[in-house]
């Protein structure tokens, strides 16, 4: 096969065969195809697109490019959940133990944060002693005994994605639906889960900022999963404002523990129940969403979800006492309130700017080598639609010094837009996407 011929074919909009896609992915991974030809193909895909069959074949080839986890030894149907990334999105820390407590095994491999969205591994590592690196045998044994584990992704998981990802940012091909879907789903398929629930964000803090684009991405990923024989559902959820009120690693862990302890309800729990409900349905322990949500609420009320989280933390070397005493989590040196600068109603928020504010305080990375400060971040006290009086506290910053606290306060005041007109609260879930179609809510 000749790479120039493949480039010519895709450049003119023709469909690549499964064999041609395999050749491209294999050559890219093993070094047989130079970066300039890989970049040219990525641009051809970005401009000309791919049909369903091509997108599925690309993803499957990327999945086969490295290790594939076999979870067949686990009892039941192993489930996983993936979010396309957002601010204050702490659902994984709630869902993993809560779903496991309801009888569906969750063997999860997660990534670190880069940019304005937080990574699950970084949040978990804010728990004193928590280890994200487990051998596969230990990983499987823990899921079999406790029902869940969260570890870092293997270095050999979908290596083709790493090759493509390193080039997409510098070749202006990040915003390609087939490449985004392939990147996400190749890692999910390689991780071995048989039931996958996707949380596709839409809004100012999301990778896809319009509802139409978000639904298209959800549909593409559901089709890929179903073509690979997996049970699939995607929810399109709001990221026009942070989902949780806490932004920052230790702060988000605290909020998740507060939710599991029954101390806090609100949008974060509501979305978690929607996602978790589908995990139970696809995992075969509930026949309907109503039954699934009832099981999740029961696990919350009984404390079973929090107990499962504590067992997971202990099994992975962490100090589980922080589940009962969240003050044992890293604490910032400076804590300061942020006052509103005008009267009115919170009309909207720049969620990306809020995420960037936390990143600038040290809660996130600009580069992979950056060191995270687990203690810093902020807590929002207002949501879209809330009434505000001048001088009223709209947020509380947790910073490493006074200068960072002042800078973050100013950025938060600018990102939270207050106006005279009353504004309705944001919708949490916009659509449910299955293989049968799109159900708009």
Ramachandran class of 377: left when φ > 0, alpha when ψ lies in -120 to 50, beta otherwise: left
CB 189 within 8 A of CB 56: no
CB 303 within 8 A of CB 326: no
Q: Which residues contact 215 (CB under 8 A, 6 or more apart)?
A: 200, 236, 430, 431, 433, 438
Based on the residue annotation, tell me whether 187 is a catalytic residue of this protein. yes
Based on the residue annotation, tell me whether 35 is a catalytic residue of this protein. no
Of 64, 108, 168, 365, which one is the catalytic site residue?
Answer: 168
Of 56, 83, 110, 183, which one is the catalytic site residue?
Answer: 183
Based on the residue annotation, tell me whether 373 is a catalytic residue of this protein. no
Distance of CA 227 to the CA centre of its chain: 22
Dihedral pair phi/psi, residue 13, rounded to 5°:
90, 10
Of 81, 123, 187, 231, which one is the catalytic site residue?
Answer: 187
Q: What stretches of 49-103 show up as alpha helix (H) in DSSP?
A: 52-64, 91-101
In this structure, the number of other CB atoms found within 10 A of the CB of residue 211 comes to 15
CB 53 within 8 A of CB 15: yes
Of 89, 122, 161, 258, which one is the catalytic site residue?
Answer: 161
Based on the residue annotation, tell me whether 168 is a catalytic residue of this protein. yes
Of 46, 64, 81, 82, which one is the catalytic site residue?
Answer: 82
DSSP-assigned states of every residue in 417-428:
EEESS--PPPPS
Rounded Cα distance between 92 and 78, Å, is: 15
| DSSP designation for 391 | T
Q: Is 5 helix (H, G, I), strand (E, B) or coil?
A: helix
- Burial letters for 168-193: b for 16+ Cβ neighbours within 10 Å, e otherwise? beebebeebbbbbbbbbbbbbbbbbb
Segment (H or E) for 335: strand 334-339
Based on the residue annotation, tell me whether 82 is a catalytic residue of this protein. yes
Dihedral pair phi/psi, residue 427, rounded to 5°:
-75, 140
- The set of catalytic residues is 82, 161, 168, 183, 187
């Amino acid at each position: 096969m000749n790479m120039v011929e493949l480039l010519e074919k895709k450049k003119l909009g023709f469909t690549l065969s499964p064999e041609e896609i395999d050749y491209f992915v294999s050559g890219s991974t093993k070094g047989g195809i130079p970066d300039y030809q890989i970049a040219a193909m990525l641009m051809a895909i970005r401009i000309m697109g791919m049909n369903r069959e091509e997108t599925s074949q690309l993803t499957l080839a990327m999945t086969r490019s490295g290790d594939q986890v076999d979870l067949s030894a686990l009892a039941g149907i192993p489930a996983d959940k993936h979010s396309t990334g957002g601010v204050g999105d702490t659902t994984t820390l709630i869902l993993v133990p809560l779903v496991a407590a309801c009888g569906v095994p969750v063997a999860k491999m997660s990534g670190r944060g880069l940019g304005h969205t937080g990574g699950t591994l970084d949040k978990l590592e804010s728990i004193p002693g928590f280890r994200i690196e487990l051998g596969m045998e230990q990983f499987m044994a823990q899921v079999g005994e406790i029902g869940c584990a969260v570890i870092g992704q293997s270095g050999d998981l979908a290596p083709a994605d790493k090759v493509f990802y390193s080039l997409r940012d510098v070749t202006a091909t990040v915003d390609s639906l087939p490449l985004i879907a392939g990147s996400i789903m190749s890692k999910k398929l390689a991780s071995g889960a048989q039931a996958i629930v996707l949380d596709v964000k839409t809004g100012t803090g999301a990778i896809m900022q319009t509802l139409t684009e978000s639904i298209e991405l959800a549909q593409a990923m559901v089709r890929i999963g179903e073509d690979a024989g997996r049970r699939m559902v995607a929810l399109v959820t709001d990221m026009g404002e942070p989902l949780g009120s806490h932004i920052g690693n230790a702060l988000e862990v605290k909020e998740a523990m507060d939710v599991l302890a029954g101390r806090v309800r609100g949008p974060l729990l509501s979305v978690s129940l929607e996602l978790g409900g589908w995990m139970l349905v696809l995992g075969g322990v509930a026949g309907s969403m109503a039954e699934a949500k009832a099981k999740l609420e029961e696990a919350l009320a009984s404390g079973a979800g929090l107990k499962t989280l504590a067992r997971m933390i202990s099994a992975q070397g962490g100090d589980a006492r922080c589940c009962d005493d969240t003050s044992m989590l890293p604490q910032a040196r400076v804590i300061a309130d942020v006052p509103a600068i005008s009267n009115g109603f919170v009309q909207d928020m720049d969620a990306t700017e809020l995420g960037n504010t936390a990143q600038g305080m040290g809660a996130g990375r600009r580069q992979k080598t950056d060191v995270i400060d687990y203690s810093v971040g902020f807590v929002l006290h207002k949501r879209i639609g809330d009434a505000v009086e001048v001088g009223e506290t709209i947020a509380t910053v947790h910073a490493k010094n006074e200068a960072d606290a002042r800078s973050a306060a100013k950025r938060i005041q600018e990102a939270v837009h207050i106006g005279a007109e009353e504004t309705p609260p944001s919708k949490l879930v916009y659509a449910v996407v299955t293989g049968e179609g799109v159900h708009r809510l």
